[in-house]
Amino acid sequence: MQRNMFLKTLAASAAAMLGLGAGLTHAADPLEVPFYYPVAVGGPITKVIDGYANDFNKAHPQYKITPIYAGTYQETIVKALTANKSGKAPATSVLLSTDMFTLIDDDAIVPIDDFAKTDADKAWLKGFYPAFMANSQTGGKTWGVPFQRSTVVMYYNKEAFKEAGLDPNKAPATWKELSEAARKLTKKDASGNVTQYGIQIPSTGFAYWMLQTLTTPNDVLLANEAGTKVSFDNPKVIEALDYWVNLTKEGVHPKGVIEWGTTPKDFLEKKAAIIVTTTGNLTNIKANAKFDFGVGQIAGHVRKGGSPTGGGNFYIFKKAPKEQQQAAFEFAKWVTQPERAAQWSMDSGYVAVSPAAYDTPALKKYGQEFPQALVARDQLPVSVAEFSTHDNQRVTKVLNDAVQAALNGTKTSAQAMKDAQKEADRILRSYQ
């Protein structure tokens, strides 16, 4: 009897536990939302992203955002598109803003407008800097949400400026001033070898981006908004490339093709007094420079300054289930709110994506303590979209090769750009 009673109690409690367990798992059965992201700058980025996902999941118990680190930008798009082709697309991924046309052509993503239905959502989309939206919209639709965005600035060694008799508190503002400063900053040893170059603009990998820092001040765009036409052989583009080539010919800029990755190091080693590179290097240079350095806007020419933007956007994948897409949208919205965008900017060195983020107390204080961080923001009103077309990587390679050929002297600037134009026209023929 007793034994029977015991068994009954056991069975009842087991059933209760099972029931409870089932109830619990049912109530807390959050929707898994895979999210691919790349890391392109130094620092503990993976930890920061995991932290954001955790905070979001706590605030939204119905969702479970799973961040998946996928390597560099290039590796991430390879993984995302391969997953998409096998039918298991991630709900969302951070990919280069310039990959927008590639993703549209592959029918891989859906417009963000499909989800932004309320007035608040629409206001949120309007809250980003227009310079960042230029790379996120085409054909009247928004395809990407700006997240880890950057721009190109000039870093200069203030001590070298003082030695050369230049004003260390004023970066060269025009091409003319820049050439003169570069001439004064170039130092040679007794046997005539250069020990410090005046200026250095890297030309591997992102040569097209660096060319844009010269074409934008020369008031010419390399591609149309639809990404179907390029203007490489425009005389203003050739003039901009010639300016760069002439810096190397004058001996104030190192010869040949300059490695992107070692450029910050060249600056830190005082082998180059001015370098032109992404704002993403700011945290690195701040931490490692043993001298006082300044950050300046890109020098102007026909128009005042102006740089291309760069970096990554959130995209939402078409093949993901509807609920996952909605969750991805909520996450992108949540993570780009002003306070979080401000925090992200300070953690990573990226430019905060909205003016509202720069109005937050945290970022205001940071800007006062470290004014170099605000240069990128001040440059945004004169910034343009990063070069992007259909079949983007192929056209970009054609442009990169042309810039390198001109810098190496195997072709004249005009010849290199005319050849590149012909090749790009051939590639883009089917999109026109």
Size of the chain in residues: 432
Q: How far is the CB of 376 from other proteins (least distance, A)?
A: 26
> Among 39, 112, 160, 258, which residue sits at the site for other proteins (rule: CB under 8 A)?
258
Q: Binding of other proteins at residue 284 (CB under 8 A)?
A: no
Q: Binding of other proteins at residue 400 (CB under 8 A)?
A: yes
- Tokens 């993503």 locate to 109
Contacts of 89 (CB under 8 A, 6+ apart): 80, 83, 108, 317, 318, 319, 320
The token duo for 200 is 């250095």
Burial tier of 65 (Cβ tally within 10 Å: 0-12, 13-18, 19+)? buried
Between the CA atoms of 216, 222, 227 and 233, what dihedral angle is there, to the nearest 10 degrees? 170
> What are the two backbone dihedrals, phi and then psi, of residue 297, each rounded to the nearest 5 degrees?
-70, 160
> What are the two backbone dihedrals, phi and then psi, of residue 172, each rounded to the nearest 5 degrees?
-55, 130
> Among 16, 18, 20, 106, which residue sits at the site for other proteins (rule: CB under 8 A)?
106
Distance of CA 11 to the CA centre of its chain: 60
Interface with other proteins (CB under 8 A), residue total 39
> Among 118, 261, 322, 429, which residue sits at the site for other proteins (rule: CB under 8 A)?
261
Q: Binding of other proteins at residue 391 (CB under 8 A)?
A: yes
Q: How far is the CB of 72 from other proteins (least distance, A)?
A: 10
Q: Binding of other proteins at residue 393 (CB under 8 A)?
A: yes
Q: Binding of other proteins at residue 256 (CB under 8 A)?
A: yes
Closest CB to other proteins among residues 50, 419: 419
Measure the CA–CA gap between 156 and 268, rounded to whole angstroms.
10
> Among 17, 21, 22, 107, which residue sits at the site for other proteins (rule: CB under 8 A)?
107
HSE at residue 429, side-chain half, CA atoms within 13 A, is 5
HSE at residue 52, side-chain half, CA atoms within 13 A, is 24
Q: Binding of other proteins at residue 323 (CB under 8 A)?
A: no
* Region 148-207 residues binding other proteins, contact defined as CB under 8 A: 191, 193-195, 203-205
Q: Binding of other proteins at residue 105 (CB under 8 A)?
A: yes
Contact 400, 260 (CB under 8 A): no
Measure the CA–CA gap between 80 and 90, rounded to whole angstroms.
7
Q: Binding of other proteins at residue 362 (CB under 8 A)?
A: no
> Among 60, 184, 236, 397, which residue sits at the site for other proteins (rule: CB under 8 A)?
397
Q: Binding of other proteins at residue 271 (CB under 8 A)?
A: yes
* Region 204-223 residues binding other proteins, contact defined as CB under 8 A: 204-205
Closest CB to other proteins among residues 173, 414: 414
Burial tier of 66 (Cβ tally within 10 Å: 0-12, 13-18, 19+)? middle
Q: Binding of other proteins at residue 133 (CB under 8 A)?
A: no
Measure the CA–CA gap between 102 and 93, rounded to whole angstroms.
14
> Among 88, 141, 255, 364, which residue sits at the site for other proteins (rule: CB under 8 A)?
255
Choices 2-10, 73-81, 175-183, 285-293; region in contact with other proteins by CB under 8 A: 73-81
Closest CB to other proteins among residues 295, 405: 405
- Residues lying near other proteins in the complex (CB under 8 A) are found at 74, 78, 81, 102, 105-108, 191, 193-195, 203-205, 254-259, 261-262, 265-266, 269, 271, 391, 393-394, 397, 400-402, 404-405, 407-408, 410
